[in-house]
Amino acid sequence: MKGPDVSWYLAVSALLFAIGALGVLIRRSPLIVLLSLEIMLNAANLALIGFARHLGDPSGQVFALAVMAVAASEVVVGLGLIVALNRARVALDVDYLSTLRG
């Protein structure tokens, strides 16, 4: 098998995940939060494919495809929400969207 060892893929995946998580935590624009979420999902995809390659088992790739489909539909819903918020003239800041607080 050619290419780097599975640990390299995992390291990149962990880095991507951390960047995504940090983005979700500290950015206030919903658009960027959504973007960061996508980064996290793709970090998971990378880990899945890395393991699939390492173990020679194609089911990891199948999972990655499923995650992509879910991510696509999630982006549709998320973007739809953001557009709706914008139309309602609500400030695009996640810290203001706290009406559901107990």
Partner 1 sequence: MIASAWVCLLAPLAAAALITLGGTWITRRQAGYLATLSVLVSFVAALIAFFKLLDESPDERSHTSTLWTWLTAGDFRVGLSILVDPLSIFMMLVVSGVGFLIVAYSIGYMDGEDEERRYFAYMALFVFSMLLLVQSGDLLILLAGWGLVGLCSYLLIGYHHERPQAVAAAKKAFIMNAFGDATMALALFLLIQRVGTLEYGAVFSAMDSIGGDWAITLIALGLLGGAVAKSAQIPLQTWLPDAMEGPTPVSALIHAATMVTAGVYMLVRLSPIFEQAPKIQDLAAGLGALTLLVAGLIALVQTDIKRVIAYSTMSQIGYMFVGAGLTTYPNAMFHLMTHAFFKALLFLGAGIAIHALVGEQDMRKMGGLARMLPKTYTAMIVGALALAAIPPFAGFFSKDPLLAATLDAGWYGQLLWAVGLIGTFLTGLYAFRMIFIVFGGEASPFVREHLHRPGHTLPALWMAWPVGALAVLSVVGGWIQFSPFWTPLSDFLDPVAPPGIEASGAEDAVTSVLAVALGLLGIGVAWWIYSARRAEVPRWAFGQRLLEHKFYFDEAYDYAFYRPAHYAALAAIRYVEGPLIGGSIAALSRGTRELSTRVTEAQTGLLRTYVLALGGGAALLALVFLAVKA
Pick the closest to residue 1 from 60, 61, 50, 65 (CA basis). Answer: 50
Considering only 14, 68, 77, 97, the residue that binds partner 1 (CB under 8 A) is 97
Position 35 contacts partner 1 (CB under 8 A): no
DSSP codes joined into one string, 6-40 = HHHHHHHHHHHHHHHHHHHHH---HHHHHHHHHHH
Position 2 contacts partner 1 (CB under 8 A): no
Q: Lay out the site mask for partner 1 across 56-95 (x = CB under 8 A, - = otherwise).
A: --------------------------------------xx
Position 101 contacts partner 1 (CB under 8 A): yes
Considering only 24, 71, 82, 92, the residue that binds partner 1 (CB under 8 A) is 24
Q: Are 27 and 36 in contact (CB under 8 A)?
A: yes
Position 11 contacts partner 1 (CB under 8 A): no
- Three-state DSSP state, 84: helix
Residue 29 φ/ψ, nearest 5 degrees: -80, 130
Q: Which residues bind partner 1 (CB under 8 A)?
A: 21, 24-26, 33, 94-95, 97-102
